Structure 1
Amino acid sequence: MAVSTPLKIIAVLVPAIAVFLAISQSGTWQLLNGIINQGIAGSEPQTYVLSDDPVVVYVKDFVSHQEAAHLANLANGRFAPSPMWDNDGKPHIDKAYRLSMTAKLDRTDPVIKRIEDRARSFPFYKNLGDFMPIVVQNYGIAGQYRDHYDWFDDRHAVGGNIVSTFFVYIHSNCTGGGTNFARLNPPSSLDEEERWCEFIDCDRPLDEGVTFKPILGNAIYWENLHADDSGHVRTLHAGMPVTSGNKMGMNMWTWKTA
């Protein structure tokens, strides 16, 4: 069927407008956070889209070094062995699979509230629920979390699901300890690879997916669910073993009620 000239124009304009809006939103987010963070040492957040299915975005300078140190201090004295959860939401400890310590933070802290506001204004964030209690994960030598998902198989059994995740590196004095997404595709072109090598381990074999380096202040954001609320299998990820030093990361999970 022939397409009229006005429809052809619309077909060209719509995707162009969508791209423009995404860039504008990202730029506005960076500008707003530059204003919010005046007086705090560090750079404005910069976003890098690795994947659009699932949505996976790397954020450089999501938190300042001062904010990261504050979060680490808040966690001191609160750590307990990190649990794992069954599909019915029941926790258990399995140190052979997950070896780390977890601390739950007080969301009324003004720094946490500021970071939550920053996350809500993130241009890729879908505000479909509320943040769960903010937690810090502490990984010492040999600390790791093997392949896992952040979503539950049966959302009705637990009353909802984790629709999206921010993982923020707040201490990264370590070797090893990268965050591996085994089912994501590495950058496809040489130019892309060179640009991404600042943030991902480009020395790992291509068939191992993508491993993000633990870099202080930076974050990874990803969406865990499809539009129909089913879990996205390509979000399989792991905290790789720490071989020396210490790594701490903050999780911000958005809970969507079933």
Structure 2
Amino acid sequence: MAMGSLLFRSLSLLVAAVAISCAFSSLGVSPFEWLRASKDNGFQISHPQIYTLSDDPLVVYVKDFISTQEAAHLVQLANGRFTPSSIWDNDGKSHIDKAYRLSMTAKLDRSDEIIKKIEERAISFPFYKLVGDFMPIVVQNYGISGQYRDHYDWFDDAQAVGGNIASTFFVYIHANCTGGGTNFARLTPPDDDSWCEFIDCDRPFDEGITFKPILGNAIYWENLQEDDAGHKMTLHAGMPVTTGNKMGMNMWTWKIA
């Protein structure tokens, strides 16, 4: 992939009783680090770093969004809850098509204290737009050959379903696999080799961007344009897992129509 320089962006956020530090990274952007206590109720706390990949649509990569302990807790919560994943039509109806989407889905209890803290952390990010509430948190489990072909997270007819998914956090909570990247076919790869830490730079340039499955890291993107129409540049896919297992957590913000 041909690489050059990436636009430097500086982010700032004021959080009560929390010291904040902005540090420059080799990616040429400003990672935003939370300096928190190392433990919270016995759980190790992550120190997220933010990298802006795209402004239109807004796509942000968050390194260390959750800690290893938090990820393990989410995996444990999901165990025993998995059912075959559905595909949602624009009229809000669901059906199962394993040729198009092969995975298992578990819905988690939002009353869990760790999930509450993760939601609070997500809302605190400077890029996040609080235009609605998080939908029930779900975990996607992809075994060998598991995938989800090209799709959008938004609905064509928001009126038919009473709203739309304004934004998405996708968090890797288990990544003991090969393959299984998250591909955005219509996004342009960045002009900076440092992004190869997170992006599969060996894939052809015309295939867009494929994020590597990395435990604890997250991708955030806005699904809707200013007029609330779905943004077609957010077309994405969960690439087939070739060995091992991948699990990801979805945090969708629902905006009422």
TM-score by length of 1: 0.87
After TM superposition, what 4+ stretches of structure 1 lie above 3 angstroms from structure 2? 26-31, 36-43
**C-alpha separation between the residues in 2 aligned to 1:233 and 1:90?**
21
Report the CA distance shift for 1:215/1:42 in structure 2 as closer, same or farther (over 3 A): farther
Per-residue CA distance 1:147-168 (angstroms, 9 max, x = gap): 0000000000000000000000
Other-structure match for 1:89: 92
Task: Give structure 1 stretches of 5+ with no counterpart.
Answer: 1-18
Other-structure match for 1:63: 66
Other-structure match for 1:104: 107
**C-alpha separation between the residues in 1 aligned to 2:13 and 2:205?**
32
SS, match of residue 142 in structure 1 = coil
The within-5 A match list for 1:1-258 is: 23-25=11-13, 27=20, 30=32, 33-35=34-36, 38=39, 40-41=43-44, 43-188=46-191, 192=192, 194-258=193-257
Shift of residue 81, structure 1, vs aligned partner: 0.1
Shift of residue 187, structure 1, vs aligned partner: 1.0
**C-alpha separation between the residues in 2 aligned to 1:254 and 1:37?**
29
**C-alpha separation between the residues in 1 aligned to 2:164 and 2:186?**
21
More strand by percentage: 2
Shift of residue 34, structure 1, vs aligned partner: 3.1
TM-score by length of 2: 0.87
Is the 2:110–2:116 Cα contact (8 Å) retained in structure 1?
A: yes
**C-alpha separation between the residues in 1 aligned to 2:21 and 2:83?**
39
Other-structure match for 1:8: none
**C-alpha separation between the residues in 2 aligned to 1:34 and 1:207?**
39
Other-structure match for 2:25: none
Shift of residue 24, structure 1, vs aligned partner: 1.7
SS, match of residue 99 in structure 2 = coil
Report the CA distance shift for 1:36/1:132 in structure 2 as closer, same or farther (over 3 A): farther
Is the 1:42–1:65 Cα contact (8 Å) retained in structure 2?
A: no
Share of identical aligned residues, percent? 74
**C-alpha separation between the residues in 2 aligned to 1:55 and 1:230?**
14
Report the CA distance shift for 1:43/1:111 in structure 2 as closer, same or farther (over 3 A): closer
Is the 1:42–1:61 Cα contact (8 Å) retained in structure 2?
A: no
More helix by percentage: 1
Task: Give structure 2 stretches of 5+ with no counterpart.
Answer: 1-7, 15-19, 23-31
Shift of residue 44, structure 1, vs aligned partner: 1.1
- The total of aligned residue pairs comes to 234
Other-structure match for 1:11: none
SS, match of residue 139 in structure 2 = strand
